[in-house]
Amino acid sequence: MSQPFRLADLPLRPVPFSELPYVRGHVDTLVPLADGSVNVSGWMAAPGEPIEEVEIHHEGRHLETRRIVPRPDVKACYEWLAFADLTGFDFQLPLTAEQAARTTRLDLVSRYKGKRRGRMSQLIRADVDRFPSPPEALIYRVSHMRDAHAFKVRGLKSVGDFFEPFARHGDLTKVRRILDWGCGCGRMSMYVLAADDCPEFAGCDVDPTAIAWSNENLRRGAFSVLNPLPPAPYPDAHFDLIYSFSVFTHLTRDVQHAWLKEMRRLLAPGGTFIATTHGQLALDFALSTLASRFPREGIADAAIDPTLGDIVPENYYRSTFQSKEYTLREFGKYFTPLEYVERGATNMQDLIVLRK
């Protein structure tokens, strides 16, 4: 990489409006322009909450407030969602030469009738397209999108989503080994491995094609094929930090328990496990196929997701939704919960921080 990237330098500080709930949305583009600025576009929305304006904050400084713009493509995806057509933003973010050479932070705050309603954040780099682009088929398999640029932008957001809560409970400089459990084709791994201060790293996934691509294009030998059920190919108490983006969102309750037990085996004493689940917001956005309330036991895991085809056993891969109460109770059987962040991760997922 021609520009430095260090995990210790990530801008993970708290923001003045941290009390606001996260909304669903994405930054789709981070395109550098000739004048040194970056074009930023995307959308943000929450069920039942209209948005009129978006506040743009960069590096903790309010730059401007803009009117929301139409996004007919979002409306087409969520026809049942009121106000889905007015969810877009598109602006130029000015960067100094110093800012363009490192990772900075963008915070967007939604407003309605002059009142702040919600927020989303995005790590910013002017060189996103310098990172490797996985093949379109692999991108689609893990994200249901085909745009390599947008995939890498969202991967950068995920790095912030995971490492910000970790920084509240741990010290990256003391992490010796990291595991990306369910790494896919390197959505987050590509950034962690590019860091000058990256600890010893391992990634694993059930998709052998994604693992082959990652070993060839990110770091040879760092990635391993994972069986659908434990054990994983690593020693006991080996990792200080394990993170997992959108794995439990596809597992039945019984398979979740099998892997929770395995994650406990892999994690060193005092280590941290950060994972995402589909909580209430995800359930709200899935109203076309699911009820708006969780079943009495707190988890809905019956819906089959065909995305992985014959990579995993038949009926293994699910679309799983679970309540905050269920996640804290069941995951708490294996770890000590430190924090639960509703809507805290990319693609409307909840995020839980656990300690062994």
pLDDT of residue 228: 98
CB of 350 within 8 A of CB of 324? Answer: yes
pLDDT digits 0-9 by tens, 70-104: 999 998 988 877 888 999 999 999 999 999 989 99
DSSP 259-313: HHHHHHHHEEEEEEEEEEE--HHHHHHTTTTS-SS--TTSEEEEEE--TTGGGS-
Q: How confident is the model at residue 288 (pLDDT cuts 50, 70, 90)?
A: low
* 8-state DSSP, 231: P
Q: What value does the mean pLDDT take over residues 132-156?
A: 96
pTM, two decimal places: 0.95
**CB 38, CB 126: distance < 8 Å:** yes
Domain ranges in the chain with CATH number 3.40.50.150: 131-355
Q: What is the pLDDT of residues 162-187, one digit of tens each?
A: 999 999 999 999 999 999 999 999 99
What is the per-residue pLDDT across 313-341, written as a single tens digit (0 to 9) for each? 999 999 999 999 999 999 999 999 999 99
- Which residues of the chain form CATH 2.60.40.10? 7-127
pLDDT at residue 14 in the model: 74
Confidence of residue 1 (pLDDT cuts 50, 70, 90): very low
Fold of 131-355: Rossmann fold (3.40.50)
Q: Measure the CA–CA gap between 45 and 86, rounded to whole angstroms.
A: 9
The CATH superfamily of 7-127 is: Immunoglobulins (2.60.40.10)
Short-list 327, 313, 240, CA closest to 277 = 327
Residues 331, 103: Cα–Cα separation, whole Å? 33
pLDDT, average across residues 230-242: 98
Residues 213-221 have a mean pLDDT of 98
Q: For residue 289, is pLDDT > 60?
A: no
Query: Is residue 135 pLDDT above 90, yes or no?
Result: yes
What confidence score (pLDDT) does residue 285 get? 77
pLDDT of residue 347: 67
Rounded CA-CA distance 1/192 in Å is 12
* pLDDT over 60 (residue 2): no
Query: Any long-range contacts for 312-318 (C-beta under 8 Å, 24+ apart)?
Result: 312/206, 312/228, 313/228, 316/228, 316/255, 317/250, 318/250, 318/251, 318/252
Predicted confidence band at 56 (pLDDT cuts at 50, 70, 90)? very high
Give the count of beta carbons closer than 10 Å to the beta carbon of residue 183. Answer: 31
Which position has the higher pLDDT, 244 or 49?
244
Comparison of pLDDT for 47 and 229, the residue scoring more:
229
Mean pLDDT, the chain, as a whole number? Answer: 93
